Amino acid sequence: MEKIAFLGLGNMGCGMAACLLKAGFDMTVYNRTAERCDELVKQGAKTANTPREAVRGAKVVFSMVADNEASRAIWLGDDGALAGAEPGAMLIECSTLSKDWVEQLSDLARQRGVSYIDAPVTGLPDDAAAGRLGLFVGADKNDLDNARKYLMPVAGQIIHFGDVGAGTAFKLIINLMGAVQIAAAAEGLVMAEAAGLDMDQVVGAIGDGQAASPQVVRNTQRMVAGRHGSDIIFTGNLRLKDALYGVRLAGGLGVSSDFGVLAADCFQALEYAGEGDLNECKVIDVMRRKSG
């Protein structure tokens, strides 16, 4: 069996790694909080104490972490994955990171003689566990062709947007759009509350109407139900991070992102209130406070 390494076992990474194990790969896993490895060990994975140790002898290395800071901690330094990556290995970064860091990391990988693919994912933890994530890929075509057999166990769809960085650019664009949609939905619900409308009826009508999107439908349901602290799928802090990376990308491209900035400000207010670790739907209370 070919050896692969998986770095980062959050809500998404655990499901992805389990799918790769089921596909028959010999896997070593690493996570900063070691207890997150326990369930995968029961399924046949090995654990490592450092990213460098985890990637030793691996043909393919997956990473799925929260942000640039966590990515740098995984890849860089004496104990980082780049220091231990074998020449000729393939690095697959599935995290949602800033485009400038992805391009820098790709250059560092090339200097080590390893190939690099950015493949940020779309989907929920249930999709990760079922192997039906969408992958937005930036990579050399030959590298992607070589990677497909490793990507297929986790992917329901693979879209190749171009060279390294292109997949990340698209992911940041749609996540910034998602931030705008969620903030606008929260504003609309606060208006509906002020108008005295039946909120269950409002949510049902939104889901059946032209303003519906998966983001809007899921979050309006949670907003009205007040499900901010249970079954946390995507936190306000993660939405803020993605929005800020998206705004940075727009600025680098010379594109105005006025709506994105406003949405990011709403999620920033959630963080300032100490509520950023709750579900992103908690942003409705930012709108309520603004209107109070």
Phi/psi of residue 24, each to 5°? 100, 10
| Residue from 93, 76, 98, 104 nearest 13 by CA | 93
Are 230 and 114 within one domain? no
Backbone φ/ψ region at 178: left (φ over 0), alpha (ψ -120 to 50), beta: alpha
pLDDT in tens, 51-81: 999 999 999 999 999 999 999 999 999 999 9
> What does the pLDDT read at residue 292?
75
| Domains identified in the chain, total number | 2
Q: How far apart are CA 117 and CA 102, in angstroms?
A: 9
Provide the domain limits for residue 143.
3-163
Q: Using only the alpha carbons of the chain, give its radius of gyration.
A: 20
> What does the pLDDT read at residue 172?
98
Residue ranges of the alpha helices (H) in 89-227? 99-111, 125-130, 141-151, 166-194, 199-208, 214-225
Instruction: Say whether 27 sits in a helix, a strand or coil.
Output: strand
Q: Which of 163, 190, 215 is where one domain is finished? A: 163
Are 221 and 148 within one domain? no
Q: How far apart are CA 158 and CA 149, in angstroms?
A: 12
pLDDT-based confidence at residue 154 (cuts at 50, 70, 90): very high
Q: How far apart are CA 226 and CA 130, in angstroms?
A: 28
Q: Which of 130, 163, 196 is where one domain is finished? A: 163
Q: How far apart are CA 122 and CA 124, in angstroms?
A: 7
pLDDT in tens, 200-226: 999 999 999 999 999 999 999 999 999
> What does the pLDDT read at residue 5?
98
- 46 included as an active-site residue: no
Are 70 and 130 within one domain? yes
- C-alpha pair distances (Å), 66 with each of 103, 107, 152, 210, 238: 17, 21, 22, 32, 7
- pLDDT greater than 80 at residue 41: yes
Which residue of the set 42, 59, 99, 171 is catalytic? 171
pLDDT in tens, 231-287: 999 999 999 999 999 999 999 999 999 999 999 999 999 999 999 999 999 999 999
> What does the pLDDT read at residue 1?
74
CATH code (residue 53): 3.40.50.720
| Residue from 200, 214, 228, 188 nearest 134 by CA | 214
Are 48 and 92 within one domain? yes
Tally of CB atoms within 10 A around 85: 23
Are 95 and 176 within one domain? no
Are 180 and 139 within one domain? no
End-to-end CA distance of the chain: 61
Q: Which of 163, 179, 208 is where one domain is finished? A: 163
Comparing 285 with 1, the larger pLDDT belongs to 285
Q: How far apart are CA 198 and CA 177, in angstroms?
A: 28
Please report which helix (H) or strand (E) contains residue 42, including its range. helix 38-42
Please report which helix (H) or strand (E) contains residue 121, including its range. strand 121-122
Q: What's this model's pTM, rounded to 2 decimal places? A: 0.96
CATH code (residue 281): 1.10.1040.10
Instruction: Say whether 20 sits in a helix, a strand or coil.
Output: helix
